[in-house]
């Protein structure tokens, strides 16, 4: 809870299966005090990165057996007399977690309680890689900071406003009613954040806007937003559905995995590995899942495989824009965000090319100009405003944590 000093400092954690990303944010100014990552937890050698205004980013190698030890490292760095930014751990008012999956249980940020933990445990089968890691992060805070309030924002929460016609699959209904097989969607915190920033930037009520948000990174998804609510999104039951991604295939004929098993004799695990880790940009290009490398291969080397893979990637985004234009019955704002969406003008140009029929006209010169912050990429006579908006999921989590505890 807020201390007498009148400030609120929130530690935001994003716990993966073998990593902890962190940011310490001063909510009085919404400024970043420190950030970093603990990587390769549980492996022979872990990597610890810490960066603050007065301490240059450095990586240290050490042994970190579990998430409790990882969090302990982070806390020690934050209060280190030489390079820390806090006088003591009591100056951390709350911890905000990025949480992945709670099924249909939550449509808003939550205070972490025993009931929330139970729900997350029940949903482990829906997110077997992410939920156990999130739970380890919550437990690590309990051990290291037993009196510190914890809150969480679920990736799936923003999409709980989707209507049944958007989230139901045309499968036997009992697969939904009994086993909760449905579209959940992910990257919700990012889609929510950039839609709010778009409305703020344009000085228009969010409820008046029809928005399509494109979160493009190694993982990629799109969301149709109407009246400030998610009404459809490209990721589904898992983050495998939807757009072509760095290593994930996105939408394919569902009979293909069956064919791979029956005709090629592949196991379920082998097929899963192909679809999640060997497909997408990496699979089609045979070069890399890193779009910076793909861009170089296209621009510098004119590599036909890279060109083909990028064509498929952009074509699929374009198809989703058309689909969501129909669902929204129009479009006011198209947003590009995420590491790829924010930093790859070539991709944005290719996606928006020949889209005048639905009111999208890109300003080529402005699109090529690399700047920080929000950028208008469309021409003055474009009926759709195209924006580049840097996402900030950590700040969104911190804001939601502050709101819950105020």
Task: Give catalytic residue positions.
Answer: 155
Secondary structure class of 176 (helix, strand, coil): helix
Residue 262: other Cβ atoms inside 10 A: 10
Q: Strand 229-233 and strand 220-226: pairing?
A: antiparallel
Q: Rounded to an integer, what distance in angstroms lies between the CA atom of residue 217 and that of residue 289? A: 10
CA angle 217, 208, 394 (to 5 degrees): 35
Cβ-count burial 196-207 (b if 16+ within 10 Å, e if not): bbbbebbeeebe
Query: Which residues contact residue 166 at a Cβ distance below 8 angstroms, ignoring those fewer than 6 apart?
Result: 183, 231, 232, 327
Phi, psi angle pair for 389, to nearest 5°? -130, 115
108-111 long-range contacts, Cβ below 8 Å, gap at least 24? 108/157, 109/151, 109/152, 109/153, 109/154, 109/157, 109/397, 109/400, 109/401, 109/403, 109/404, 110/151, 110/152, 110/154, 110/404, 111/149, 111/150, 111/151, 111/404, 111/405
């Amino acid at each position: 809870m807020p201390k007498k000093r009148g400030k609120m400092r929130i530690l935001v954690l994003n716990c993966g299966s073998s990593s902890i990303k962190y940011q310490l944010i001063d909510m009085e100014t919404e400024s970043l005090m420190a950030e970093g990552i603990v990587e390769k937890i549980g492996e022979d050698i872990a990597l610890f990165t810490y960066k603050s205004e007065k301490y240059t980013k450095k990586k240290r190698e050490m042994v970190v057996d579990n998430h409790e030890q990882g969090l302990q490292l982070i806390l020690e760095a934050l209060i280190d007399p030489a390079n820390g930014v806090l006088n003591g751990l009591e100056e951390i008012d709350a911890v905000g977690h990025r949480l992945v999956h709670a099924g249909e249980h939550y449509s808003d940020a939550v205070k972490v309680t025993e009931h929330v933990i139970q729900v997350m445990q029940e949903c482990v089968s829906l997110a077997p890689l992410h939920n156990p890691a999130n739970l380890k992060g919550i437990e690590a805070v309990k051990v290291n900071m037993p009196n510190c309030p914890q809150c969480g924002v679920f990736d799936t929460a923003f999409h709980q406003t989707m209507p049944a016609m958007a989230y139901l699959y045309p499968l036997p209904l009992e697969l939904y009613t009994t086993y909760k097989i449905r579209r959940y969607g992910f990257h919700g915190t990012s889609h929510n954040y950039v839609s709010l920033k778009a409305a703020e930037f344009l000085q228009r009520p969010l409820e008046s806007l029809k928005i399509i948000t494109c979160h493009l990174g190694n993982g990629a998804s799109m969301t149709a937003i109407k009246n400030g609510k998610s009404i459809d999104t490209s990721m589904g039951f898992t983050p495998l559905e939807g757009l072509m991604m760095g290593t994930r295939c996105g939408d394919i004929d569902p009979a293909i995995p069956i064919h791979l098993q029956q005709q090629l004799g592949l196991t379920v695990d082998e097929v899963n590995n192909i679809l999640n880790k060997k497909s997408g940009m990496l699979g089609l290009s045979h070069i890399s899942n890193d779009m910076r490398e793909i861009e170089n291969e296209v621009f510098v080397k004119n590599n036909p495989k890279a060109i083909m893979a990028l064509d498929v990637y952009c074509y699929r985004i374009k198809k989703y824009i058309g689909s969501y234009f129909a669902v929204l019955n129009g479009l006011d704002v198209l947003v590009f965000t995420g590491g790829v969406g924010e930093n790859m003008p070539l991709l944005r140009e290719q996606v928006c090319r020949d889209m005048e029929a639905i009111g999208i006209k890109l300003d080529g010169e402005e699109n090529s100009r690399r700047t920080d912050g929000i950028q208008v990429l469309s021409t003055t006579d474009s009926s759709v405003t195209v924006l580049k908006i840097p996402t900030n999921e950590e700040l969104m989590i911190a804001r939601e944590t502050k709101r819950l505890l105020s």
